[in-house]
Structure 1
Amino acid sequence: MRAAARCYEANPYFMARYAERGEAFSRSDGGYMVTLTSHPLAYVIQQIKWLGVLLASRGMPRWLLESHLDLLYDELSATIPKRRVKYRKLLKAAEVLREARHDWISQPDFETLAAAFAANSGNGLANAGEMLVSAVCDEFCGIAKAVPSLVTWLGDPGRFPAQWCTSVEDTLTCARAVAARNGYNHAKIEVSIGAA
């Protein structure tokens, strides 16, 4: 419950878009993730990947799930330290999501793009830049609805001023360019390894 509350408070997007319903889903998702720790790590990762695709397709980029998993581990380990090893499976699942994100956009580039959005948009919603860049990473990982499901709300000109909406589009363009460049570099590496 505390992990869900911390995640919800750190990301005002949840309340702004989903209201109390979103908080209830955060708690139930957190409860579900705790039950996973009784299973082997491979199963935990499989289920977290499935949940990540589901949430990203509904407007919640996987970076949010990654953050929730980190907070969940912190809270569970502080409350029941003797089960810390069991709860490390949550950290491993968060790491898998993080590595998938870093395959397309490195952490320094991720932070730079998110900060540029905050500076250029008027910074009206904490972590909006992180969500946009994460949605692009999710898109490049094959989650087709990741960007549209987020931008339908986060880039809505009826909800946000023109400066914000322009910054949304600019951030998506820049993030896609970075991810495409990294994808090209990965392809070159694979080709050169294959040729060797």
Structure 2
Amino acid sequence: MTGPQPVDEARQLLLEHVDRTVTGPLEDPAVVAAVVGVERLVVATRSTDAGVLRRALEGELTRGDAPDADLPRVRELVAEGENHVVAGLVRRAEGLGADAAVVNADAGGHEITTDATLLRAAVRAAQRSIDAMPYYGARYGARGSRFATTDSAWLVSLAWLDEAGAVKQVQWLARVLAARGMPSWLLEIHLDELVREVRSVADPAAVGALPAAAAALAAARRAHVDDELLDAADAWADDALGDDRPVPRAGALMAAAVADARSGVTRDDTALVGWLTDGERVSAAAAAALREVHRRIVEAAR
């Protein structure tokens, strides 16, 4: 007689956590993966109802259960969640703890929070930041979503550092991400969302140094590109391109990339601007219009 298959065991563990009641430190890597998997479904279904989450995991979710859900995306997240819990079960059997690799094999074994409440807040902040900026999905797809989750779960673990230490770590991540086409403005937004999520579920002190880290990124950006210029750049792009934009908020993204180049976060802004104006992605006319918007931003930036 054989035991349950790994995927069946993984799904059962996910189902055990749809009530989202577990709290405190999580030592079992499979449970960490299950908590993350369920919380990603919370954001995708826009529901915390255990019945809705259960139906999603069982493949029975309907539009009536979750009117605003992206059902194909929900199915993708269920499959990913099962795979991650299977990986957690393997680590459990080997006596290994939980780290970022449990829910994102490409992230490596760096530290993430294993406090259940803070982990859920980190997942929600990551997924809501992803959803709010279609650029992430257009450029990085599901891989970007996984990295956002593990980055967020690492960022929340920085809360207990002193301000100087947290700022240094966040600035390091900003440089890494900006070099890959993600302006530090996006990390600034993510941190603001993370602070809101943590404050909504934990003692206000739990945010620790995170607001200071977000403020440091904002100050560095605003020294060259203030919030008004971000909005103006969006308006210029919308006027020039209409519906021919490669992604929403293309103007603000270029302005944020200009700020990173001016402040030394990156050497230049080609990682982002080059992608936006790629001839395989946009028409020649749209690329030319984007370059003109970029020129206006450069002239307006301090």
TM-score normalised to structure 1 length: 0.85
Deviation, structure 1 residue 111: 1.3
User: What is residue 66 of structure 1 aligned with on the other side?
Assistant: 188
What is the alpha-carbon distance in structure 1 between the residues aligned to residue 131 and residue 290 of structure 2? Answer: 22
Residue 35 of structure 1 corresponds to which residue in structure 2? Answer: 157
* CA positional deviation for 1:146: 4.7
Question: 1:152 Cα shift?
Answer: 2.6
Post-superposition shift, 1:89? 2.1
1:111 partnered with 2:231: yes
Identity of aligned residues (%): 32
Aligned length: 178
* Structure 1 stretches lacking a partner, 5+ long: 183-196
2:129 is aligned with what amino acid?
A: C
Per-residue CA distance 1:32-90 (angstroms, 9 max, x = gap): 1000001111100001111111111110001100000000111111121x1x2341522
Post-superposition offset of 1:15: 0.9
Match of 2:276? 154
Q: Aligned with 1:160: secondary structure? A: coil
Q: Distance in 1 between matches of 2:266 and 2:197?
A: 33
Q: What code does the residue aligned with 2:283 have? A: P
Q: Which amino acid aligns with 1:96?
A: A
Instruction: Please tell me whether Structure 1 or Structure 2 has the larger radius of gyration of its CA atoms.
Output: 2
Matching of residue 165 in structure 1 with residue 283 in structure 2:
no
Q: Look up the match of 2:264.
A: 142
Relative to structure 1, is the Cα distance of residues 146 and 68 closer, same or farther in structure 2, using a 3 angstrom cutoff? farther
Contact preservation (8 Å) 1:10, 1:126: no
Residue identity matched to 2:148: S
Q: Which runs of 4+ in 1 moved over 3 A?
A: 143-146
Partner AA of 1:30 in structure 2: S
Structure-2-length-normalised TM-score: 0.56
Given candidates 245, 251, 254, the residue that maps to 1:132 is: 254
Alpha-carbon shift at residue 28 of structure 1 (Å): 0.7
Q: Distance in 1 between matches of 2:296 and 2:230?
A: 11
* Counterpart for residue 10 of structure 1: 132
Root-mean-square deviation (Å): 1.5
1:79 matched to which residue of 2? 201
Which residue number corresponds to residue 92 of structure 1?
212
**1:99, CA displacement in angstroms?**
1.0
Q: Distance in 2 between matches of 1:159 and 1:149?
A: 15
Q: After the TM superposition, which of the residue ranges 44-53 and 125-134 deviates more from structure 2?
A: 125-134
Residues 101-127 of structure 1: CA distance to partner in whole angstroms, max 9, x if unpaired?
111122222211222112212243222
Gaps of 5+ in 2: 1-122
Residue matched to 1:185: none
